[in-house]
Chain A
């Protein structure tokens, strides 16, 4: 009853509903008879000289149907919510019905998921039915950030490559789906030094992967990389245990180019993948993890990455 601030409106609705029903019955009882002229079966009303209202009675079953609708309304209002805040004797609610339908769906799906639970991730990735379900789970739960094809976007990781920040394998994916993840890079501008130093370090970072960079700046920045090495390693290859990205590949999660790297060093970043354990059952999570895993393991990598037609 959050829509209304006082119980007055509940009583208002009840009064109108019950009053309306009572009025229908009253009208049926009182106004079912009419006076007509016995000789010509008209009501005696005449307009425009000779236009007369004839008595044209409805069939009685029609009235029967009307009474039935009133009876139906009474029964319905007794069983279901409708009369103000009265919940009805069946205690029905849309949320309850949804839950019941979910339970029923879970029950029908149970044997299917039971089969899936007995399978390994590779077998699941080969199973057409499992992957069909996995795809739908992905589109409904993951595509909002990672895209329908799982290739992500800026700040949303690409799931189809083999670059994994904090670990790899199906279990890692399943854990990430269930519990979520938080990636954090602290602001390092002050630790690196002057803005000029930051620029030099950025160029050094770009040079690690052979991306476009200023070679002189990179040379100058090398000595300042020590501030980054604690997480990314002295060689910049990252540390999976910490979730620190490899800087020597060309995967740029938060943007590509000098400006993006400088912004990252100065501002840091907190990146969040939300937990899904409250939305997905462990069985669903397993199937979904196998689907995500399959995105980066589509058969032979050579054919999977062949030139588009």
Chain B
């Protein structure tokens, strides 16, 4: 997408016909080593150890992290979440969004460059590619060469490694939704169910296709983040910048030649920063939406500067203001504490605190009250008015709990429940409950619907006592 042109020349020149659909140019990113690349690899390791390792951890004789869609229970360590706890997912998404806003406002696309699965898997697939086919120049040579034994061996080996890795990824992904240990056994005996096969293969295919072939195309054409990053950046956002003032005019020169004598800047125009770029852009053209902030060009340029005996940092993390106004590092960092960043931080802290507190104070069980769908009310012995309810009690712990139900809101309310209700670990149970109001009390309250509430109390509490209060209505007939 190199369509930068000089806008001052609008000469009506020759006309040609082009396709609206462009064959993508293959990008051969060159391997790079340096400070930021070490960070990138560290994050690859961390994220992948977490992703591939977590489903194997055990807790209470079951998988520590398991999203059991069939029974609709999400287990995360000691936490048992029900569909009713979906609000926490909302909280998580809001936290993620604000964290993204905050990091983007401070330091640009940190997520893209270091933690985004697209980047991380591309990095891993590139590493395989590098093992089998060599670095940039060798890969280009190999692609241009005619097919022979060696090419088949190298390409085939790479594909095999990619496919195995992708399959393992798909397997791990499904392992979050169905116990991974038994899943492993079923894979070995080829006894997976059709949906397990589908998702293992689908996720494997998605990994293989995205990290092996689509790569930067995903970032450029599919990812919406690239498109709205401009709304999150300002002139004090750290971006990967080429210091044009110092670098230009560019040009080749000998190591011993003083660039000033030739009227040149520090950029030796070696093109390494372009060669290492995984999205194939030239950072010296300034900030572009394709730049995923991976800082490979920084490491590459610093390496060249080092070889040339120049100061590093011709390409560096810098803000637009710091480049224009020649700010020192300290001045630049001070500007990080601007209202926008402070507000994002405050909101983020607030929401994390709120979600954390609500998780901490979460009741060990939940109750849903459903009025009987058929009988509005009926009159039983002694003219008492009876309403029927169905209560669903959901045990959100991994111990059996016993409950007692009480109702209040009208005078002389009685719950016709004979024994405590026992609900097994992480189970949900429907209980049918009749509630009676005395004739006098009901007459006094008058016909119609009256608000009452149920207090469901945990009675054999080994931990703290817990009561859940749920609203409902009691109907007195005319």
A→B interface (CB under 8 Å): 31-42, 44, 46, 50, 52, 54-63, 135, 139, 143-149, 151-154, 250, 256, 303-306, 308-309
Contact A34 B414 (CB under 8 A): no
Contact B432 A308 (CB under 8 A): no
A50-B7, A143-B372, A308-B436 known; A59+B12 contact, CB < 8 A: no
A62-B21, A143-B373 known; A35+B217 contact, CB < 8 A: no
Q: Which residue of A lies closest to B2 (CB)?
A: A41
Query: In this assembly, does B321 line the interface, its C-beta being within 8 Å of a C-beta of chain A?
Result: no
Q: How far is the CA of A119 from the CA of B432 in the complex (A)?
A: 26
Contact A36 B21 (CB under 8 A): no
Q: Which residue of B lies closest to A255 (CB)?
A: B379
Report A-chain residues with C-beta under 8 Å of the C-beta of B390: 139, 148
B→A interface (CB under 8 Å): 1, 3, 5, 7, 9-24, 217, 221, 372-375, 378-381, 386, 388-390, 404, 406, 414-419, 430, 432-434, 436
Q: List 21 A-B pairs, Cβ < 8 Å.
A: A32-B20, A34-B17, A34-B18, A35-B15, A37-B14, A39-B11, A40-B9, A42-B5, A57-B20, A57-B21, A59-B23, A60-B22, A144-B374, A147-B375, A148-B373, A148-B375, A151-B378, A151-B386, A305-B418, A306-B418, A309-B417
Q: Which residue of A lies closest to B217 (CB)?
A: A59
Report A-chain residues with C-beta under 8 Å of the C-beta of B389: 148
Q: Which residue of B lies closest to A36 (CB)?
A: B18
Report A-chain residues with C-beta under 8 Å of the C-beta of B18: 33-34, 36, 55, 57
Q: B25 to chain A: closest CB distance in Å?
A: 10
Partner of B16, one of A35, A58, A62, A309: A35
Q: How far is the CA of A305 from the CA of B373 in the complex (A)?
A: 25
Q: A307 to chain B: closest CB distance in Å?
A: 8
Q: A148 to chain B: closest CB distance in Å?
A: 5
Q: How far is the CA of A57 from the CA of B1 in the complex (A)?
A: 8
Contact B22 A57 (CB under 8 A): yes
Contact B3 A56 (CB under 8 A): yes
Report B-chain residues with C-beta under 8 Å of the C-beta of A152: 375, 378
Partner of A60, one of B7, B21, B379: B21
Contact A154 B21 (CB under 8 A): no
Partner of A33, one of B17, B221, B404: B17
Report A-chain residues with C-beta under 8 Å of the C-beta of B21: 32, 57-60, 62-63
Q: How far is the CA of A139 from the CA of B373 in the complex (A)?
A: 10
A40-B11, A154-B378, A308-B414 known; A55+B388 contact, CB < 8 A: no
Q: A224 to chain B: closest CB distance in Å?
A: 28
Q: How far is the CA of A219 from the CA of B18 in the complex (A)?
A: 110
Contact A151 B20 (CB under 8 A): no
Report A-chain residues with C-beta under 8 Å of the C-beta of B404: 309
Report B-chain residues with C-beta under 8 Å of the C-beta of A39: 11, 13-14
Report A-chain residues with C-beta under 8 Å of the C-beta of B3: 41, 54-56
Q: B226 to chain A: closest CB distance in Å?
A: 14
Contact A143 B374 (CB under 8 A): yes
Contact A149 B388 (CB under 8 A): yes
A148-B372, A148-B390 known; A38+B10 contact, CB < 8 A: no
Contact B418 A303 (CB under 8 A): yes
Partner of B372, one of A63, A147, A256, A309: A147
Report B-chain residues with C-beta under 8 Å of the C-beta of A32: 19-21
Q: B324 to chain A: closest CB distance in Å?
A: 25
Q: Which residue of B lies closest to A142 (CB)?
A: B374
Q: How far is the CA of A308 from the CA of B404 in the complex (A)?
A: 11
Q: Which residue of B lies closest to A40 (CB)?
A: B5
Report A-chain residues with C-beta under 8 Å of the C-beta of B386: 151
Q: A139 to chain B: closest CB distance in Å?
A: 8
Contact B373 A144 (CB under 8 A): yes
Partner of A135, one of B9, B388, B430: B430
Report A-chain residues with C-beta under 8 Å of the C-beta of B24: 59-61
Report B-chain residues with C-beta under 8 Å of the C-beta of A33: 17-20
Report A-chain residues with C-beta under 8 Å of the C-beta of B7: 50, 52
A56-B3, A57-B20, A308-B417 known; A38+B432 contact, CB < 8 A: no
Contact B378 A153 (CB under 8 A): yes
Q: How far is the CA of A147 from the CA of B416 in the complex (A)?
A: 15
Q: How far is the CA of A306 from the CA of B420 in the complex (A)?
A: 13
Partner of B23, one of A46, A50, A60: A60
Q: Which residue of A lies closest to B1 (CB)?
A: A56
Contact B10 A147 (CB under 8 A): no
Q: Which residue of A lies closest to B372 (CB)?
A: A148
Report A-chain residues with C-beta under 8 Å of the C-beta of B436: 308
Contact B432 A148 (CB under 8 A): yes
Q: B291 to chain A: closest CB distance in Å?
A: 18
Q: Which residue of B lies closest to A298 (CB)?
A: B418
Q: How far is the CA of A33 from the CA of B22 in the complex (A)?
A: 11
Q: Across chains A and B, which 10 residue pairs bring their CB atoms closest together, nearest first?
A: A39-B13, A57-B22, A38-B14, A147-B375, A60-B21, A38-B16, A308-B414, A149-B432, A63-B21, A308-B416
Report A-chain residues with C-beta under 8 Å of the C-beta of B9: 40
A32-B21, A61-B217, A308-B415 known; A37+B12 contact, CB < 8 A: yes
Report A-chain residues with C-beta under 8 Å of the C-beta of B5: 40-42, 54
Contact A40 B16 (CB under 8 A): no
Contact B11 A153 (CB under 8 A): no
Q: B414 to chain A: closest CB distance in Å?
A: 4
Partner of A31, one of B15, B20, B23, B221: B20
Q: How far is the CA of A145 from the CA of B217 in the complex (A)?
A: 61
Contact B15 A37 (CB under 8 A): yes
Q: Which residue of B lies closest to A32 (CB)?
A: B20
Q: B416 to chain A: closest CB distance in Å?
A: 5
Q: How far is the CA of A56 from the CA of B18 in the complex (A)?
A: 11
Report A-chain residues with C-beta under 8 Å of the C-beta of B10: 40, 42, 46, 50, 52
